[in-house]
Amino acid sequence: MKIDRLVSIIMVLLDKNRIGAQELADMFEVSLRTIYRDIDAINMAGIPVRGTSGVNGGFEIMPEYKLDKKVFSAADLSAILMGLSSLSNMIHGDELINALAKVKSFIPADRAKDIALKANQIFIDLSPWMGNRNMQPYLEKIKAALQESRLLSFEYADRYGNKTTRTAEPYQLVLKSNHWYLQGFCRKRNDFRLFRLSRMSKLQLQEEAFTPRDFQKPQLEFADILDSMQSEIKIRIHETIREKVLDYCTEDNFSPDGDGYYLVSFPFIENDYYYNILFSFGNQCECLEPPHVRAEMKRRIHEIAALYENQA
């Protein structure tokens, strides 16, 4: 990839006083013409590279612009390593391995132990303990499609399980609330759509390429919308599910109610999603008010019970 090669050339120039064009071409397995174009691109980006001719000639970054490796503090390097290491746990690829190697090359030997200790103080792993085993292969296919601007085809199930065949132009991979999504232009709907990867099946990378269109970033922040839609209901829970309920509200919503119980002001919207959240708390949660939500919970419980009463 060109960007990766440009970054690599900059790293080489930072590390060496001077290097010949042919040596760079051999190193990156490209033509001399490509190296000259890359040097022009680096210059246009504001990093002054000058070339000298002769036996000991070559390219070098002008000395007054030379970047000292010590410009990165231990905290800087630890933060970069922390982010790259966490990302590499979710998305594999040579790009991340190369980036990690390049960042590590900036670490002085006398600070390596301290930086490694700080980088490991926070570990982010958003992969599920158990889940869809297709996820990693799907991520790799989508990555390839993004890099090469190639179409993706797949079957997509809506929340009711109805499947449709889709062809999409991929534009962005999104990780939101432990779930992966693909933002793409759906040719079936003739519009941008946000597809949840866990609802995809039979994902295929097509040979056909596409010309990228103006990209519309997905709406991912709904705090203001949710605030206007949500109301608070009162539930009584047992302390054994306290941690689970805290995924949806804060400590300020809790007040003790006898031995081992809490009253909770719980954010709620009247739809299937939120009723299912309440049901996920099992018999350790009781909806106290408002009366119509309590009545709806009771009605749904009777429907569930009826399914088992009718079994032989």
HSE, CB side, 13 Å, CA atoms: give it for residue 8.
Answer: 18
Q: Provide the pLDDT confidence category of residue 17 given band limits of 50, 70 and 90.
A: confident
Considering only CA atoms, which of 148, 9, 20, 11 is closest in space to residue 67? 11
Q: Provide the pLDDT confidence category of residue 1 given band limits of 50, 70 and 90.
A: very low
Q: What is the pTM of this model?
A: 0.49
Q: Is residue 99 part of a domain?
A: yes
Give alpha helix (H) positions in the chain: 2-15, 21-28, 32-44, 74-88, 94-104, 112-119, 135-148, 223-229, 242-245, 272-280, 291-309
Q: Provide the pLDDT confidence category of residue 99 given band limits of 50, 70 and 90.
A: low
Instruction: Specify the pLDDT at position 217.
Output: 72
Residue type for position 174: V
Percent of the chain past pLDDT 90, that is, above it, reads 31
Same-domain pairing of 234 and 304: yes
Q: Is residue 216 part of a domain?
A: no
Beta-strand ranges (E) seen in 98-219 are 150-157, 163-176, 179-186, 191-196, 200-209
Query: Residue 96 pLDDT more than 60?
Result: no
- As for how many domains the chain has, the answer is 4
pLDDT digits (tens, 9 = 90+) for 65-91: 655 555 566 666 666 666 666 555 555
Percent of the chain past pLDDT 70, that is, above it, reads 70
Q: Provide the pLDDT confidence category of residue 120 given band limits of 50, 70 and 90.
A: low
Instruction: Specify the pLDDT at position 284.
Output: 94
Q: Is residue 124 part of a domain?
A: no
Could you tell me the residue range of the domain that residue 114 belongs to?
Answer: 71-119
Query: Which has more pLDDT, 125 or 175?
Result: 175
Q: Is residue 125 part of a domain?
A: no
Query: Residue 275 pLDDT more than 90?
Result: yes
Instruction: Specify the pLDDT at position 307.
Output: 87
Q: Is residue 218 part of a domain?
A: no
Q: Provide the pLDDT confidence category of residue 136 given band limits of 50, 70 and 90.
A: confident
Same-domain pairing of 235 and 301: yes
CATH code (residue 182): 2.30.30
Q: Is residue 128 part of a domain?
A: no
Instruction: Specify the pLDDT at position 219.
Output: 64
The first and second tokens of residue 91, run together, are 């998305």
Cβ atoms < 10 Å from Cβ of 185: 20
Q: How far apart are CA 45 and CA 39, in angstroms?
A: 10
Query: Residue 223 pLDDT more than 60?
Result: no
pLDDT digits (tens, 9 = 90+) for 263-273: 999 999 988 98
Same-domain pairing of 83 and 19: no
Q: Provide the pLDDT confidence category of residue 135 given band limits of 50, 70 and 90.
A: confident
Considering only CA atoms, which of 12, 66, 67, 71 is closest in space to residue 39? 12
Among residues 119, 150, 184, the one where a domain terminates is 119
Q: Is residue 110 part of a domain?
A: yes
